Amino acid sequence: MTDLHIFGMLFKNRFLDGIKDGSITIAFRNWRKSSVKEGGTLQTPGGLLEIIKIEKYSISKIKKAEIIKAGYGSIEDLQKDLYSKIPGELYKIEFRLLGADPRIKLRENTFSSDQEYEELHELLRSWDKRSKHGEWTIPLLKLIRKFPAMKAGDLSLKIGIEKEELKLLVRKLKNKGLTESLGTGYRISPRGESFLKKVKQ
């Protein structure tokens, strides 16, 4: 996966270092409507972000300093990314880094108590019960463990869930620290591995 979609925002992997070191604090997006809110937060692989300001913008208003703060070398590079996406109105999003992505620490947590495990297991059972696919949580975790770095499209064929929907389901597991995104595909996290071992007991 070269792009990472987080709560309506899309960040290419090449921008993550800039987000982490604070040099990237602006994003430009073509949206039909704003998909994030001022004052809200975003969990990204670059860290937890606070959305400071969102405004409709125009290409002619973009200054050189804004191009740099968005992680681009030129207006031409920025335009290539903007115009390769779906059509919509141009928005400028200003944000600041609040800290590291809390999911990174969570995925290393291999359960401090049986109660913690049971609470997570009960949550996954509730997801299964509400899903049109029936039990998908543990089968998908086992599939990712068996086929690390497999493309989402190939995983979707193996489990029988449409690719875009599968990505959303994997994101739910990732938000609970059970999986990690790779350059291509996913892998099980230490927390996910611990969870599956406990399921067997």
Residue 189: per-residue pLDDT: 96
Residue-wise pLDDT for 50-102, tens only, equals 999 999 999 999 999 999 999 999 999 999 888 765 667 899 999 999 888 78
- Cα–Cα distance measured from residue 192 to residue 181, given in angstroms and rounded to the nearest whole number: 13
Instruction: List the structure tokens of 148.
Output: 């690390």
Q: How confident is the model at residue 40 (pLDDT cuts 50, 70, 90)?
A: confident
Whether 55 and 82 map to the same domain: the answer is yes
Structure tokens at 5: 């979609």
Question: What is the residue range of 163's domain?
Answer: 104-200
Residues 175, 104 contacting (CB under 8 angstroms): no
**Residue owning tokens 């509730």:** 126
In the structure, how many helices (H) and strands (E) does the chain have? 9, 8
- In total, how many domains does the chain have? 2
Q: Which residue has the tokens 């067997």?
A: 200
Q: Work out the mean pLDDT of the chain and round it to a whole number.
A: 89
Quick one: pLDDT band at residue 36, thresholds 50, 70, 90?
confident
Q: Examine the fold and report which residue of 78, 100, 122 is the final residue of a domain before the chain moves on.
A: 100
Q: Which helix (H) or strand (E) holds 92?
A: strand 89-99
pTM: 0.62
